[in-house]
Amino acid sequence: LLQRVAETPDVVALRVKDRGVWKPMTWREYGRRIEHLALGMLELGLQPGENVAIIGDNWPQHLITDLAAQSLQGAGVVLYPESSPEEVAFIVGHAECPVVVVRDQEQADKLFEMQQELPGLRRIIYCDGRGMSLYDATVAISFDEVLAMGARRAEANPNEYRESVDRGKNSDIAILMYTSGTTGEPKGAMMTHLNVIAGVKNF
């Protein structure tokens, strides 16, 4: 990621549909958001090596969260948006995720419903703020707020993010993929960075 940002900063990395219009995001902006989210989550108390759960659809914040967690030697743990509150609680608890990024209120509700079953859950980061104003602000915080916190931390500590990435190893778990749980409780498949690279090369 850092190599791509350095080599082609102004090339379009993603296009995001907003109110019917496809808006481009360059590699520079993509990389900056990943850095700011990573540092923002550290500011919230996430420790290097801890996992971050993601509940939502195919959206840029999903990728940004995944890579931000990986840059802190943690793993992204992806949950289906159709998952029940009980399924969400099991996976978030089993993967020991202190932070969960959700698309909207519908997904946040599942976590608040099961909050007593999740003593390790410290923060819920939401992307769509509609309906979220009545929630406990010490738990729920907006994605944009976390980005702003990370931007301030990056300004104060310009080398922190790169140093964190450099501490990562190819044997670190990059992604925790859970099975559907049709024959029992879901099981987490641990994918290291080497696994991911091997998969890409083979493909």
Q: pLDDT digit string (tens) for 103-138?
A: 999 999 999 999 999 999 999 999 998 888 888 888
In sequence order, which residues have a C-beta less than 8 Å from that of residue 153 and are 6 or more positions away?
39, 40, 42, 43, 160
- pTM given for the model: 0.94
Cα–Cα distance measured from residue 141 to residue 147, given in angstroms and rounded to the nearest whole number = 11
Q: What is the mean pLDDT of the chain?
A: 94
33-61 pLDDT tens trace: 999 999 999 999 999 999 999 998 888 99
The proportion of the chain whose per-residue pLDDT surpasses 70, expressed as a percent, equals: 100
Cα–Cα distance measured from residue 201 to residue 38, given in angstroms and rounded to the nearest whole number = 27
97-108 pLDDT tens trace: 999 999 999 999
Say what the pLDDT of residue 134 is: 83
From 153, 127, 166, 128, select the one nearest 32 (Cα to Cα): 153
